[in-house]
Structure 1
Amino acid sequence: MHDFPDIDYTQRFIFDESDVRGELVALERSYAEVLAKHPYPEPVAQLLGEMLAAAALLVGTLKFDGLLVLQARSLGPVSLLMVECSSEREIRGIARYDESLITPDATLQELMPDGDLTMTIDPRQGKRYQGIVGLDGVDLSACLSSYFVMSEQLPTRFWIKADGKRARGLLLQQLPAARLTDPEEREASWQHVNTLVDTLTAEELLSLNNETVLHRLFHEDAVRMFDIQPLVFRCSCSRERSANALVSLGLEDAQQLVIEHNGTVEIDCQFCNQRYLFDATDVAQLFAGGGVDTPSDTRH
């Protein structure tokens, strides 16, 4: 038995004697819920788990109110990986792939050759920010680490693993100089903690609780842990959003769509498979400004 809290969570930690902070993430239930929506092949399920863990770690580094979106695209066997995590730590994700091209132990480079990773920060107020990096690292951790180098943000490194059941990750981030102002000391301290985390095996990261991981790595350093922050799977789809998609078509096209689909348009959420149904009466009501509060019969 592993000594884990019965929730998915992120947990922050800081080094009291240097300008470095860290974050740990553990996903099990939310990861299982994402995987339950589609029958993903194992390499795709692992990669999607790594993306979920990455998004959860990144949300912890950002002070914003809104949505973080990680989107990886390629012309390879996996054409799309997309994960969204809100500042309230509600997460969802999806992958698009060609199963006939996927081998059992496929690497990131085999699954997504010449791919790109886009990070979008979409705050509820203020300007949207987007950055992009090539998926040319050995794994997702390496790609994300190089993203922070290229975007000239605070030096940040990732260690992420997923096995189809658990997704775990550790992030280290160098903070602006405060405790260590000498550049050489500062760099030595950053290299010291990175070298220690590089000794962590995938098995240890996936199977040990946070206290054990941190003690094993940093028992000679002063590390302070903060309270865990719960994280859940939740899809942000709704009947209202689906209705807005219909409204955006315009009245004539929406009516035509109903006719073409034998009287009922089905809009499926690609993330959670929820299905929303609209008939001619619903469409008329939408365009008359009646909203979506009274769906016909048993529809949802």
Structure 2
Amino acid sequence: MLDSDYTQRFLFDDTDVRGEWVGLERSYAEVLAKHSYPEPVAQLLGELLAAAALLVGTLKFDGLMVLQARSTGAVPLLMVECSSDREVRGIARYDESLLAPGATLSELMPDGVLAMTIDPTNGQRYQGIVALDGVTLADSLSNYFASSEQLPTRFWLAADGRRACGMLLQQLPADRIRDSEEREASWQHLRTLADTLSAEELLGLDTQTVLHRLYHEEQVRLFEPRSIVFRCSCSRERSANAVISLGQQDAEQLLAEQGGAITIDCQFCNHSYRFDAADIAQLFAGAGTEGPSGTRH
């Protein structure tokens, strides 16, 4: 039986197209458990989580990928991070007074932009930005690839507050099919079949069942699934480094202003890291980050 949180790659043997499937339950639930998100916000965040997991499955890198959508509307921020180890976390910002039932993506996130950042452990950081102008988040992500001169890529995404699922199709460089018209016809055929996939099917079926329903006449090779987990990358050490970056004078001034302790809150997981006067002295004495003050959950 498949794990509840996984990605799974598949290939069409007779064409130059590959795909990726994702299903998220536990990791999605852990992201939502950190904040009380209204339904439309939880849905958008789930779709972005699924998209990030799909994209990491197509990339060969060690490091972190960040998807970030910003707007001037009811949802000014959606942000998801997914590492090459398939560890995800995510957060959203919203104005509940502006949320309307049944609102579309353009109504929730007007004047939106979508940024994808690849931050490898070794190598140069890359970022691409595109207008968030699709009818759905899946459309906007597909438009990103269409406008950035990368491999043609299409997304299908769905989330309902319990599960977040998605599928990706990507056209590969010419190998099995060299004729450009034949390549385009094959790509169009596979996309058209995928467009018949409903949100209910995305959320309710596993990879094999979906692929059989869509592509039972195609030669599809399905690879082993790979697990996805929620994990926040915050730590006392990283928080201490943020305090050190202030400089000793400013840190001591902030310590006095905050009543004898500096508290750094992780917006992703709600963990709080507290540094009192003894901790601050220890940090700037170069004695490390371990101290008497603990972490508050």
TM-score normalized with structure 1 length: 0.97
Kept in 2, the 8 Å contact 1:265–1:279? The answer is yes
Deviation at 1:140, TM superposition (A): 0.5
CA distance in 2, matches of 1:77, 1:23: 31
Deviation at 1:104, TM superposition (A): 2.4
Residue 263 of structure 1: aligned partner: 260
Residue 137 of structure 1: aligned partner: 134
Q: What is the aligned-residue RMSD (CA, Å)?
A: 0.9
Residue 93 of structure 2: aligned partner: 96
Matching of residue 68 in structure 1 with residue 65 in structure 2? yes
User: In structure 2, which of residues 278, 283, 289 is the aligned counterpart of residue 281 of structure 1?
Assistant: 278
Matching of residue 41 in structure 1 with residue 11 in structure 2? no
Q: How does 1:227-242 map to 2 (within 5 A)?
A: 227-242=224-239
- 1:84-107 residue CA offsets vs partner (Å, 9 max, x unmatched): 000000000000111111112221
CA distance in 2, matches of 1:227, 1:275: 38
TM-score normalized with structure 2 length: 0.98
**Structure 1 letter corresponding to 2:120:** P
Q: Which runs of 5+ in 1 are unaligned?
A: none
Residue 10 of structure 2: aligned partner: 13
Deviation at 1:5, TM superposition (A): 2.3
Matching of residue 226 in structure 1 with residue 223 in structure 2? yes
CA distance in 1, matches of 2:15, 2:72: 43
- 1:169-188 residue CA offsets vs partner (Å, 9 max, x unmatched): 00000001110011111111
**Structure 1 letter corresponding to 2:115:** T
**Structure 2 letter corresponding to 1:45:** A
CA distance in 2, matches of 1:210, 1:271: 30
Kept in 2, the 8 Å contact 1:42–1:104? The answer is no
CA distance in 2, matches of 1:184, 1:103: 45
Residue 208 of structure 2: aligned partner: 211
- 1:204-223 residue CA offsets vs partner (Å, 9 max, x unmatched): 11101111000000000000
Residue 292 of structure 2: aligned partner: 296
CA distance in 2, matches of 1:129, 1:193: 30
- 1:188-230 residue CA offsets vs partner (Å, 9 max, x unmatched): 1101100100111111111011110000000000000000010
Kept in 1, the 8 Å contact 2:271–2:295? The answer is no
Q: SS state of the match for residue 271, structure 1?
A: coil
**Structure 1 letter corresponding to 2:27:** S
Paired positions, count: 296
Matching of residue 185 in structure 1 with residue 182 in structure 2? yes
User: In structure 2, which of residues 124, 142, 147 is the aligned counterpart of residue 150 of structure 1?
Assistant: 147
- 1:111-142 residue CA offsets vs partner (Å, 9 max, x unmatched): 10010000000000000000001011001100
Q: SS state of the match for residue 179, structure 1?
A: coil
Residue 125 of structure 2: aligned partner: 128
Deviation at 1:298, TM superposition (A): 4.4
Identity %: 71
Segments of 4+ moved more than 4 angstroms: 297-300
Kept in 1, the 8 Å contact 2:274–2:293? The answer is no
Matching of residue 28 in structure 1 with residue 25 in structure 2? yes
Residue 202 of structure 1: aligned partner: 199
